[in-house]
Amino acid sequence: MVESILGARIRETRRRAGITQSELARRIGISASYLNLIERNKRRIAGPLLVRTAEELGAEISELDGASERRLVETLHEIAHLPALVALEVETESTGEMLGRYPGWARALAALARAEHDASQAARQMADRLTHDPFLAETVHRMLSRVAAVRSAVEILTDFDDIEPHQRNRFTGIIRDEAAALTEIGEALATYFEKTEAADERLTPLDEVEALLESNGNHFAELDAAGAELSGLVNQRQPMPPLVAAHAIAQEFLAGAVGEIIDKAPQLETTAARNRARQVLIDYATRAILLPLDGCIAMATEHGFDFEAIARQSGADVMTICQRLASLPPRHPDDTEDLPSFGYFRANASGTIIEMLGLSGLSLPRYAAACPLWALYRAQQMPETVLRQRAVFPNGRRFVFLARSRRTGAEGFNQPRHYLTDMLALSEEDAARTVYAPDTATPVEEVGPACRLCPRHTCAHRTDDPLGS
């Protein structure tokens, strides 16, 4: 896809500069016919030839080679494969050509599709909340109980004329008190829906903490820097286990840094959210001390981001490695190479997701169970084994899931076996840069976010009707 951008981008840049094809070919030392093949994407261009071409056109290589448009090409391909557009048979092989020639229109299409996606997601999330939110269920139940009390009191006052004045006053008082309670319930509902409609508002402490993580890309550079400086203290606290030692060091030395992050975070509006965020960030600092960022990146790139191999080399457990991979910065510290982006999910035996470090483009329902077809729920059938799943969502987005379950709790004879499952998620494009890259023979499995939010009516594993059915 990048090559198809490159030829078209060279042609358009040359034309805007007013340089003929033959003149540019002469300047860079190739024939006009060969340059014509390059511009038509029939020949590749790279290395010194690409550098000379960029210099003669007065452009940066990054403007020509399509690296900055890679995500946009991916987005346009996803748009073309949306269920509503598949029947139109969009010419996906010409995506790069369109982006190279008409980058403004390409960005406009992507922005329009993103706006439509965000609006649909907001509607689905609202439906998800209306269906499963315990606050609403409890509030509606309270409202119906109050209405029943008012109705009973009114019926008594209406049907019986011989009620003593003090009894009549008693029933009137009941109506007054219940009406006041109904007013409070109505105000609570109004506040709930007003907050739900605001795109930048969070509804629960968990929402607020996840908003903080999302705004930082799950990465806190100041804690990583401080953690690297303190990592040498872990060995000084033997025979204390490394994880316990790192946690104690984080609480002792980094509580102030964590407090500064919390104080500056506009996402954290409530005391409960700030308390939850403090624990999350102390855990982050613990991992930064236990496995400093530079060393983590070096081992990850050496092993192709194989989290089991990194765990063996570092001595850290798989959960810690998965959490560190989900907290990598978007670019290598030397600014020479992009790192793949990971999301992280942890689920218990009931299927409840008990920890999440989100991944852009991968949505997860808050008040409903996720899709049972995810490898996350399949892994407990094969403990200590990594399951790779190539998944496609109804919107056309493709991800690679890597799930592994592990035993937790007490061990010994007659002890019950409990398992937790760790799962990494990354886009199919990012997976291509890891040992987990799926080949063409790897089947693509159709999954969804949750039954309530999934439009696949024919799914044999559906347990709930989809939105709008």
The mean pLDDT of 196-225, rounded to a whole number, is 76
Q: Binning pLDDT at 50, 70 and 90, where does residue 296 land?
A: very high
pLDDT at 220: 93
Between residues 315 and 86, the one the model is more confident about: 315
Q: Binning pLDDT at 50, 70 and 90, where does residue 204 land?
A: low
Does 418 have pLDDT greater than 60? yes
In degrees rounded to 5, what are phi and psi of residue 297?
Answer: -65, -40
Neighbouring CB atoms inside 10 A of 255's CB total 14
Rounded to 5°, the CA angle 69-449-81 comes to 40
Does 336 have pLDDT greater than 50? no
User: In whole angstroms, what is the distance from residue 465 CA to residue 452 CA?
Assistant: 6
In degrees rounded to 5, what are phi and psi of residue 267?
Answer: -70, -25
Q: Binning pLDDT at 50, 70 and 90, where does residue 67 land?
A: very low
Q: Where are the beta strands (DSSP E) in 108-187?
A: none
| Residue 262, helix vs strand vs coil | helix
| Residue 360, helix vs strand vs coil | coil
| Domain range 2-112, CATH class | mainly alpha
pLDDT at 403: 95
Does 352 have pLDDT greater than 90? no
- Reading phi first (left if > 0) and then psi (alpha if -120 to 50, else beta), residue 368 is in beta
Does 463 have pLDDT greater than 60? yes
pLDDT at 332: 45
Owner of token pair 């090559």? 3
Strand partners, 71: none
Type of residue numbered 208: E
The mean pLDDT of 331-338, rounded to a whole number, is 51
Does 198 have pLDDT greater than 60? no
Helix (H) or strand (E) holding 397: none
| Residue 419, helix vs strand vs coil | strand
Does 130 have pLDDT greater than 80? no
* Token pair in block for residue 87: 């029947």
pLDDT at 134: 65
Does 149 have pLDDT greater than 80? yes
User: In whole angstroms, what is the distance from residue 339 CA to residue 300 CA?
Assistant: 10
pLDDT at 63: 67
Do you find a cis peptide bond into 241, omega within 30 degrees of 0?
Answer: no
CA diameter of the chain: 110
The mean pLDDT of 32-57, rounded to a whole number, is 85
The full set of domain ranges for the chain reads 2-112, 133-197, 339-469
**By mean pLDDT, which of 107-111, 312-316, 345-349, 406-410 is the weakest?**
107-111
426-439 pLDDT, tens digit each: 999 899 889 999 88
The mean pLDDT of 296-317, rounded to a whole number, is 93
31-65 burial by CB neighbour count: b if 16+ within 10 A, else e? eeeebbebbebeeebeeebbebbbebbebeeeebb
356-413 pLDDT, tens digit each: 888 887 877 655 567 889 999 899 889 999 999 999 988 788 999 999 999 888 888 8
Q: Binning pLDDT at 50, 70 and 90, where does residue 103 land?
A: confident
Type of residue numbered 246: A
User: In whole angstroms, what is the distance from residue 278 CA to residue 280 CA?
Assistant: 6
- Reading phi first (left if > 0) and then psi (alpha if -120 to 50, else beta), residue 197 is in alpha
Helix, strand, coil percent values for the chain (each to nearest 5): 60, 10, 35
Of 272, 295, 391, the C-alpha closest to 343 is 391
pLDDT at 139: 78
Rounded to 5°, the CA angle 313-314-320 comes to 125
Q: Running DSSP on this structure, what letter comes out for residue 359?
A: B
Does 343 have pLDDT greater than 60? yes
3-state SS track over 170-189: HHHHHHHHHHHHHHHHHHHH
The mean pLDDT of 60-70, rounded to a whole number, is 62
| 8 A C-beta contact, residue 313 and residue 320 | no
The per-residue pLDDT of the chain, averaged, comes to 83
| Domain range 339-469, CATH class | alpha beta
Helix (H) or strand (E) holding 34: helix 32-39
| 8 A C-beta contact, residue 359 and residue 439 | no
Highest mean pLDDT among 75-79, 165-169, 384-388: 384-388
46-57 pLDDT, tens digit each: 778 888 898 898
User: In whole angstroms, what is the distance from residue 322 CA to residue 338 CA?
Assistant: 18
pLDDT at 321: 95
